[in-house]
Chain A
Amino acid sequence: MPLKRKIKELHERREQVLKGGGDKAIEKQVAMGKLTARERIISLLDEDSFNEYDLFVEHEARDFDMDKKTLHGDGVIIGTGTIYGAPICVFAQDFTVAGGSLGLMHSRKITKIMDHALKMRVPLIGINDSGGARIQEGVNSLAGYGEIFFRNTLNSGVIPQLSVVLGPCAGGAVYSPALTDFVFVVDKISKMFITGPEVIKTVLGEEISMEDLGGARVHSEISGNAHFYAKSEQECFEQIKKLITFIPWNNTQKAKAFEPKEPNERFKIENIVPGDPTLPYDVRNVIRAIVDDSDFFEIQEFWATNIVIGFGRIGGPTIGFVANQPLVLAGVLDVDSSDKAARFIRFCDAFNIPLVTLVDLPGYLPGVDQEHAGVIRHGAKVLYAYSEATVPKITVILRKAYGGGYIAMNSRHLRADFVFSWPGAEIAVMGPEGAANIIFRREINAAEDPEKVRAQKVKEYKDKFANPYVAAAKGYVDSVIEPAETRTLLLHAIEVSDNKAVTGPKKKHGIPPF
């Protein structure tokens, strides 16, 4: 056969496979408001940058008449491409082929691209849209999942791993996203759960829809399993692309720095924070007043909103921000906000992203539910993550920093590199009211007018201790600064921390309070 004819044959074979599950299945996919797997990859990656591999992979299953079935690409697409020039490894499950079900060869394609990503030290993006295990392939299918989870863990902290849930991702399958660094979900399309509505109905008699059980909003607001929520697939891809600009390709590199830009003048830092420590404000506006172009990219925007995490740039390089949010629950630490902050701190530390912590919190959330839910071990994660982190760690105390909250929020004692404090800050064991009630209990109770004495004692305590100078006198705060100086000082602190090198004692790994 002349080469020309062989090339023609190649074209024909390709064309056949590229049809995926065929026109009918594609129609169904479109009717569900979803793009096809190949469309998704093409929308996500730079134009004409995608190269597909393992197009001609076929399954070897024989049981249950599987030998009579051709499943194009075995229901998954893998390949490499770029996002804003950054190299990316990607896989996308193809729901039009046998419901994107995972069989042995399907999983081998995924693990192949995962291994490639690790070897090449480039980010991995997985697009999940699958009905689950391919039952006909039995334990081979389970083996496939296990091989994926193992690699997710192996790759963790070496290359960034992003999961995009664009369809069902249920049962064991959903543990792959859970093991990765960032999970993206889309309204009405993403469905994630361990046991589905049918099982719950059988076992419990509770009727619940997939959407209410494990839809995009549920995981963005209630469970905290998702990091980014979008209204459409297109919006989701824009979020992924933006995230890629903030993170490095791997743990030996730094994120690419951008041209420095001044923050928008609209955000006047000295006007955002009220003087009275009991009044709320949106701490995100403080971040916007600090970061380049006022561009703050928030993560987990709708979950545990009493703490704010996300990326911004200061003078070019990416910075990870952790900030108490006085607007919600007075900015307390609790079970969920501790989990949220701790995981983010560990991501930044693994990928050489300096941390800036903005502190304004009254302490921990009181409550039986919090104590019984394990606020002790969850809260400990924040202490662990900050203590363990060796990237540059800079703290700015905006207003109040009381008690255990003060220690946890990247205090000097956890080896913060720089601790700045605004002049109105109150750094103390607790708020003046609580402290005065304890210290002066006898005098207050013995007084003719307890309320008058109480007010007087609160004022005394406030004047003497509710300021940053007691901590500054001990060197726990390096510098008391004007709010307007914050960005300039952070620029400097980041610049002089660029070569930070610390080494701890040798160990296999620590044992964080998971």
Chain B
Amino acid sequence: MSEKKSKTPKKEVSFLNIDGTQYKTRLTGKFENRTVWDKPDDKKLLSFIPGTIIKVFVEKGQKVKKGEKVVILEAMKMQNKILISRDGVIKQVYVKEGQTLPKGGLILELK
């Protein structure tokens, strides 16, 4: 395990604010490395599961309608038809056929 990922309590003392009071305390690696929340952007289509793109149906500049099939993402031996959730014009397609994607990987973006 690399040092950065280590989840042992840090020895140095920090502060934590709870209800307006600053407490002198140690922070854990898990706390310090927690995922910072971003407001989801509905113009970006992300993969909901890790897998492989086996088919891309759309290209840059193309108009798409809500519910239109844009890619097929194969994951866990299942071919998932990925549909677009709103009307729009494709700004960029970020995946190619055969490409593997992690969960939350960017597939395409609408203008």
Contacts from A to B (Cβ < 8 Å) = 203-206, 211-212, 215, 217-218, 221-222, 277-280, 302, 305-306, 326-332, 336, 362-363, 365-369, 372, 402-403, 430-434, 437
Does B102 contact A204, Cβ atoms closer than 8 Å? yes
Quick check: which of B20-28, B53-61, B64-72, B79-87 contacts chain A, the rest being far away?
B20-28
Given contacts A203-B50, A212-B1, A369-B34, contact A431 B20 (CB under 8 A): yes
A226 and B104 alpha carbons, distance in the complex (Å): 29
Q: Please give, as numbers and ranges, the residues of chain A lying within 8 Å of B23 by CB-CB distance.
A: 278, 280, 326, 330, 362
Contacts of B20 in A (CB 8 A): 431, 433-434, 437
Indicate if the CB atoms of B18 and A206 lie closer than 8 Å: no
Structural contact, B19 and A328, CB atoms closer than 8 A: no
With contacts A204-B100, A278-B24, A368-B37 taken as known, whether A433 is within 8 angstroms of B16 at the C-beta atoms is: no
Closest to A223 in B: B7
B37, A369: Cβ atoms closer than 8 Å: yes
User: B100 touching A362 by the CB < 8 A rule?
Assistant: no
In order of increasing CB-CB distance, the 5 nearest A-B pairs are A434-B19, A330-B23, A368-B37, A433-B20, A362-B18
Determine whether the beta carbon of B34 is less than 8 Å from that of A363.
Answer: no
Asked if B35 and A369 sit within 8 Å, CB to CB, the answer is yes
CB distance from A360 to the nearest CB of B (A): 11
> Known: A204-B100, A222-B7, A302-B8. Is A431-B16 also a contact (CB below 8 A)?
no
> How far apart sit A372 and B39, CA to CA, in the bound complex (Å)?
13
Whether A221 contacts B8 by the Cβ 8 Å rule is yes
A327: chain B residues at CB < 8 Å are 9, 25-26
Which of B22, B23, B34, B36 lies at the interface centre, i.e. has the most chain A CB atoms within 10 A of its CB?
B23
State how many angstroms separate the Cβ of A96 from the closest Cβ of chain B: 29
- Please name all residues of chain A whose beta carbon is closer than 8 Å to the beta carbon of B50 when the two chains form the complex: 203-204
Tell me, in angstroms, the Cα distance from A302 to B34 when the chains sit together. 18
Instruction: Known A280-B13, A367-B34, A437-B20; judge A329-B7 contact (CB<8 A).
Output: no
Residues in A neighbouring B21, C-beta threshold 8 A? 277-278, 362, 431-434
Please, which residues of chain A bring their CB within 8 A of the CB of B24? Answer: 278-280
Q: Smallest Cβ distance from A304 to chain B, in angstroms?
A: 8
Nearest CB in chain A to that of B103: its residue: A204
Q: List 8 A-B contacts (CB under 8 A).
A: A221-B6, A221-B7, A278-B23, A280-B24, A302-B8, A330-B18, A332-B16, A430-B19
Residues of A within 8 A of B1 (CB): 211-212, 215, 217-218
B30 close to A (CB within 8 Å): yes
Q: How far is the CA of A211 from the CA of B21 in the complex (A)?
A: 40
Q: Which residue of B lies closest to A334 (CB)?
A: B31
Q: Which of A203, A302, A366 contacts B18 (CB 8 A)?
A: A366
In the complex, the answer to whether B8 meets A402 with C-beta atoms within 8 Å is no
**Does B8 contact A280, Cβ atoms closer than 8 Å?**
no
The distance from the CB of B67 to the nearest CB of chain A, in whole angstroms, is 28
Q: Would you call A206 and B102 a contact (CB within 8 A)?
A: yes
